[in-house]
Amino acid sequence: MNTTSSAHRRSRWLLIQTMAVFAFLYLPILVLIVYSFNGESVGGFPPRGWTLRWYRILMDDDALWSAVGNSLLVALAAMLLALAFGLPAALALDRASFPGKAVFRRLVLLPLILPGIITGLSLLMLFVTAGMKLSLLTIALGHGTALISVATTEIFAGLQKMDRAQEEASLDLGATNWQTFWRITIPNLRLAIIGAGLLIFTLSMDEIAVSFFLIGRDNTLPLEIWSRLRRGITPEINAVSTIIFLFSLVMILVWYRVRTRRGEELAELVPLKP
Partner 1 sequence: MYSRAYKTAVAAPPLAWVAVFLLAPYAFLFCYSFWTVSQQVIVHHWNLANYRQLLDNAMYPTVLLRSMRIAGSVTLLSLLLSFPLAYYLSFRSRRKELLYQLVIIPLWVSYLVRAYAWKTILGSDGVLNTLLQYVGVIEHPAEFLLYSPFAVVLTLTHIYTPFTFLPIYASMEHIPRNLVEAAQDLGAAPMRTFWTVIFPLSLPGALAGATFAFVLSLGDFLAPLLIGGPSGIMISNVVVSLFGAAYNWPLGAAISASLLLLVLALLFLVERIEKKLSFS
The answer to whether residue 125 forms part of the interface with partner 1 (CB under 8 A) is: yes
Least Cβ distance, residue 60 to partner 1 (angstroms): 21
Choices 51-59, 72-80, 81-89, 186-194 (CB under 8 A): range interacting with partner 1: 81-89
Q: How many residues bind partner 1 (CB under 8 A)?
A: 92
Distance CA 194, CA 50 (A): 40
Among 65, 66, 88, 218, binds partner 1 (CB under 8 A): 88
Per-residue binding letters, 181-220, with partner 1 (x by CB under 8 A): x--------------------x---x-xx--xx-------
SS3 assignment, position 97? coil
* Residue closer to partner 1, measured from CB, 66 or 202: 202
The answer to whether residue 179 forms part of the interface with partner 1 (CB under 8 A) is: no
Per-residue binding letters, 94-123, with partner 1 (x by CB under 8 A): -xxxx-----x--xx-xx-xxxxxxx-xxx
Least Cβ distance, residue 95 to partner 1 (angstroms): 6
Residues in 230-249 at the binding interface with partner 1, rule: CB under 8 A:
230, 233, 237-238, 241, 244-245, 248-249
User: For residue 158, how far is the Cα from the chain centroid?
Assistant: 18
The answer to whether residue 55 forms part of the interface with partner 1 (CB under 8 A) is: no
Least Cβ distance, residue 83 to partner 1 (angstroms): 11
Secondary structure (DSSP) of 143-180: HHHHHHHHHHHHHHHHHHHS-HHHHHHHHHTT--HHHH
Query: Which residues face 50 on adjacent strands?
Result: 38
Residues in 127-146 at the binding interface with partner 1, rule: CB under 8 A:
129, 141, 145
Per-residue binding letters, 2-41, with partner 1 (x by CB under 8 A): -x---x--xx--xx-xx--xx-xxxxxx-xx--x------
* Other Cβ atoms within 10 Å of 236 Cβ, number: 20
Long-range contacts of range 33-41, CB-CB < 8 Å, 24 or more positions apart?
33/238, 33/242, 33/245, 35/235, 35/238, 36/235, 36/238, 36/239, 36/241, 36/242, 38/235, 38/238, 41/233, 41/235
Q: Give the orientation angle of helix 186-206 with respect to helix 62-95, to 10 degrees.
A: 140
* Other Cβ atoms within 10 Å of 176 Cβ, number: 10
